[in-house]
């Protein structure tokens, strides 16, 4: 049974994170947005120390803790704690949140599909003296949501017992910081057997400094501009045999592919939390400005007696609270190791949808003021859309939900 009372450790954490969001993020939010590709190192170094003090990486809670710490009888709240933290950090600045070291999809993939040795080897580096970053390299110029169209290949050289990667990846979040500006890594999706389709898909850890791995382009983006997004080329890139996540043997089933995709069951609710944070920031500022101009929201009145603005604001609040409840459910299931692909996708679909609606409506209500750079509303409007796009678009996640509800396989419902 889900307990909707926020655990005391999370309440205490929220107080600390809010201080960071107010004093270290909001104060430079506009500057980071207008100076794209400027790295917020003061914030990064502070958060590196903070994440270390919490004893774990941010996208993979508890993954790098010793086994005896995981065996405690207390119920896990790692993902719920992470969700609350991300919601608050996104409330501060969504792009800067994505600059936190050790907090991207790469570490989540290692935590979900890696062996104990791989988890120790790759995740422990986030606890070092310097910030380390990670990323996921999945999307290709011709392969976005359709992962079966991935053309990057990994061929085993039996003489050297190394994998040789070739291919191009685009839209790699934090790829510049992971591969160029730190001793980080990216998890690369490639096929070890093109004829096997998805059954031949595997993910590989490619570490910074690996010959044949090169960042070729940094994107200029609509939103989350404090975070780098890059293209990476792999040309005869040799990595150790043991850097493969999962079995090197191709089976007739897509078990390996499904194991890799399980990464998203844990991370999609985190993206939903990011969306909720942006939406909450927007709604709070909107209500504050309305109140300053004498517009109070009269709760409890019949709908026909409310003004148009009052109805809009109340509908926005309903959407925001609904999205947060869906997110909390998916996070709670992840903490309790319950199968949650439907709930994870539902949370991300709805949160990614409502944050765009809420930010757009706020800009509309305030008119020229909302559209101007005088407020952060227009920035939040631009930041919002990414939550509907990355880690599975809204369309793809709607398919995931439908398949789980109707009992269809991917080949039966596309």
Assess whether 263 and 397 both reside in one domain.
Answer: yes
What pLDDT sits at residue 1? 62
Assess whether 172 and 116 both reside in one domain.
Answer: no
What pLDDT sits at residue 60? 60
Tally of structural domains, the chain: 3
Assess whether 117 and 18 both reside in one domain.
Answer: yes
Residues of the chain with pLDDT > 70, as a percent, come to 92
Out of 97, 127, 157, pick the residue that ends a domain: 127
3-state secondary structure 270-324: HHHHHHHHHHHHHHHHHHHHHHHCCCCCCCCCCHHHCCHHHHHHHHHHHHHHHHH
Out of 101, 127, 153, pick the residue that ends a domain: 127
* Residue pointed to by tokens 């803790």: 65
User: What number is the average pLDDT over the span 55-78?
Assistant: 61
Assess whether 107 and 147 both reside in one domain.
Answer: no
Angle at 155 between CA 150 and CA 161, to 5 degrees: 145
- Of 215, 269, 201, 207, the C-alpha closest to 239 is 207
What pLDDT band is residue 218 in, cutting at 50, 70 and 90? very high
Assess whether 69 and 54 both reside in one domain.
Answer: yes
What pLDDT sits at residue 144? 83
Q: What is the CATH number of the domain that holds 236?
A: 2.40.110.10
Q: Is 117 part of any domain?
A: yes
The answer to whether 378 is a known catalytic residue is no
Q: What is the CATH number of the domain that holds 345?
A: 1.20.140.10
What pLDDT sits at residue 253? 61
User: What number is the average pLDDT over the span 158-186?
Assistant: 97
| Concatenated DSSP letters of 162-199 | EEEEEEEEEEEETHHHHHTSSS-EEEEEEES-GGGGGG
Question: 85-121: per-residue pLDDT in tens?
Answer: 999 999 999 999 999 998 789 999 999 889 999 999 9
Assess whether 195 and 262 both reside in one domain.
Answer: no
Assess whether 150 and 283 both reside in one domain.
Answer: no
Q: Which domain holds residue 272?
A: 255-406
Q: Is 3 part of any domain?
A: no
Flag whether pLDDT at 371 surpasses 70.
yes
Out of 104, 127, 150, pick the residue that ends a domain: 127
Flag whether pLDDT at 2 surpasses 80.
no
Q: What is the CATH number of the domain that holds 23?
A: 1.10.540.10
Assess whether 241 and 268 both reside in one domain.
Answer: no
Flag whether pLDDT at 254 surpasses 80.
no
């Amino acid at each position: 049974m889900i307990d909707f009372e926020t655990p005391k450790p999370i309440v205490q954490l929220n107080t600390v994170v809010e201080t960071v969001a107010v004093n270290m993020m909001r104060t430079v939010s506009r500057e980071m947005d207008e100076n794209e590709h400027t790295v917020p190192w003061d914030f990064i170094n502070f958060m590196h120390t903070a994440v270390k003090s919490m004893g774990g990486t941010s996208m993979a809670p508890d993954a790098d803790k010793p086994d005896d710490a995981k065996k405690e009888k207390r119920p896990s709240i790692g993902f719920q704690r992470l969700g609350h933290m991300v919601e608050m950090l996104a409330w501060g600045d969504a792009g800067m949140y994505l600059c936190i070291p050790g907090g991207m999809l790469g570490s989540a993939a290692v935590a979900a599909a890696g062996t104990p040795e791989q988890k120790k080897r790759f995740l422990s580096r986030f606890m070092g003296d310097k910030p380390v970053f990670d990323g996921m390299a999945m999307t290709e110029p011709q392969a976005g949501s359709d992962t079966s169209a991935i053309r990057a290949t990994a061929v085993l050289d039996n003489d050297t017992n190394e994998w040789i990667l070739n291919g191009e990846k685009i839209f790699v979040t934090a790829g510049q910081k992971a591969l160029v500006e730190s001793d980080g890594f990216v998890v690369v999706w490639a096929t070890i057997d093109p004829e096997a389709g998805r059954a031949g898909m595997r993910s590989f850890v490619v570490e910074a400094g690996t010959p044949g791995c090169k960042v070729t382009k940094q994107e200029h983006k609509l939103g989350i501009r404090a975070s780098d997004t890059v293209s990476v080329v792999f040309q005869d890139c040799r990595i150790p045999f043991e850097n493969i996540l999962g079995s090197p043997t191709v089976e007739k089933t897509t078990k390996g592919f499904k194991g890799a995709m399980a990464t998203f069951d844990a991370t999609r609710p985190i993206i939903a939390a990011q969306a909720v944070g942006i939406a909450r920031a927007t709604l709070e500022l909107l209500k504050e400005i309305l109140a300053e101009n004498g517009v109070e929201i009269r709760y409890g009145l019949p709908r026909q007696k409310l003004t148009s603005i009052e109805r809009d604001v109340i509908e926005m609040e309903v959407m925001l609270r609904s999205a947060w409840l869906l997110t909390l459910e998916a996070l709670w299931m992840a903490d309790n190791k319950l199968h949650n692909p439907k709930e994870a996708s539902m949370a991300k679909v709805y949160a990614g949808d409502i944050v765009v609606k809420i930010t757009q409506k706020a800009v509309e209500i305030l008119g020229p003021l909302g559209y101007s750079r005088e407020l952060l509303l227009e920035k939040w409007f631009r930041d919002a859309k990414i939550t509907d796009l990355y880690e599975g678009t809204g369309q793809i996640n709607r398919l995931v939900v439908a398949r789980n509800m109707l009992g269809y396989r991917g080949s039966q419902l596309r």
